[in-house]
Amino acid sequence: MPPVFRFAPSPNGYLHLGHAYSALLNFDRARETGGRLLLRIEDIDATRCRPEFETAIDEDLAWLGIAWETPARRQSEHFADYRAALEKLSALGLVYPAFESRAEIAKLVAAREADGLWLRDPDGAPLYPGDAKSLPADERARLIETGVPYALRLDMAAVCRCVAGLTWSELGEGPGREHGLVAARPEAWGDVILARKETPTSYHLSVVVDDALQGVSEVVRGQDLFHATSVHRLLQVLLDLPAPTYRHHALICDEAGRKLSKSSRSTGLRELRVAGASPVDIRGLVGLG
């Protein structure tokens, strides 16, 4: 079976040099190995994703000379798949609804921090500080009945009691130069959100479901997602899905050493193209010349 690669952008802005690097690495790996390259449009956040950005993704990738299999998988068309995975996790008793608003969470975190150090996840966000996990079933049902919004969270402590010693195979490098067999540390993320009342999935859940459904064998993506792989491995085990290998690559930074953002114009592929850059120039700019 040929290896399967994927490039998985979110259509919430225009692509920049960092995306070009990731897409070209995937394309080159697929070519070198006789593999397949898939495109996945990660558009579960309807408030931020727009069709014109998706059109621009197709145009920019084609301009770079990248060829991928069509049609692309658009996540917003597959909520039933994510819902089924969520139901499987719920049936295992590993998911609970948490009703606090963002403001209430911020207040709880401030109170915890005033009492001492409160842990943060690898992205720097405070771990969930609430105690919704211990709400009695009738209180949960009553709150759901009132129609208040809620997030469905993974009971990480319960999961870690039954799953331990997870690893993944890292062909690239983590931010701490991790390589080879890497030990997963999902507990560092606390009770991650798997879905919300109005969106039956999350980045973590849909990426894991899709990588498995699409038969992805090697995930090539930026180092900013290295630590998220711990959660992905955990979900793969809970959902009985195969584990791809991972190749995390360095991020392309601006002159100030900051990660590129979709709003920084000077590194946008469209801007560079209008300024006269060729696809070969873009390869050179990201160090793939």
Query: Contacts with ligand GLU in 54-83 (CB under 6 A)?
Result: none
User: For residues 42 and 191, which CB has a smaller minimum distance to ligand GLU in the complex?
Assistant: 42
**Residue 91 Cβ, how far from ligand GLU at the closest point, in Å?**
26
Judged by CB under 6 A, does residue 207 bind ligand GLU? yes
Rounded Cα distance between 42 and 140, Å, is: 31
**Which residue stretch of 8-16, 97-105, 113-121, 192-200 sits at the interface with ligand GLU (rule: CB under 6 A)?**
8-16
User: For residues 30 and 207, which CB has a smaller minimum distance to ligand GLU in the complex?
Assistant: 207
Residue in the block written with tokens 């009985």: 240
Judged by CB under 6 A, does residue 225 bind ligand GLU? yes
Nearest of 68, 53, 62 to residue 6 by alpha carbon? 68
User: Which phi and psi (to 5°) does residue 42 adopt?
Assistant: -95, 85
Among 24, 26, 36, 42, binds ligand GLU (CB under 6 A): 42
User: For residues 54 and 100, which CB has a smaller minimum distance to ligand GLU in the complex?
Assistant: 54
Judged by CB under 6 A, does residue 221 bind ligand GLU? yes
Residue in the block written with tokens 């999961």: 159
**Residue 115 Cβ, how far from ligand GLU at the closest point, in Å?**
35
The site that binds ligand GLU (CB under 6 A) totals a number of residues, namely 7
**Residue 224 Cβ, how far from ligand GLU at the closest point, in Å?**
7
Strands 218-222 and 245-249: what pairing? parallel
**Which residue stretch of 2-10, 96-104, 181-189, 249-257 sits at the interface with ligand GLU (rule: CB under 6 A)?**
2-10
x/- mask, ligand GLU, residues 187-206, rule CB under 6 A, reads --------------------
List residues near ligand GLU by CB under 6 A.
Answer: 8-10, 42, 207, 221, 225
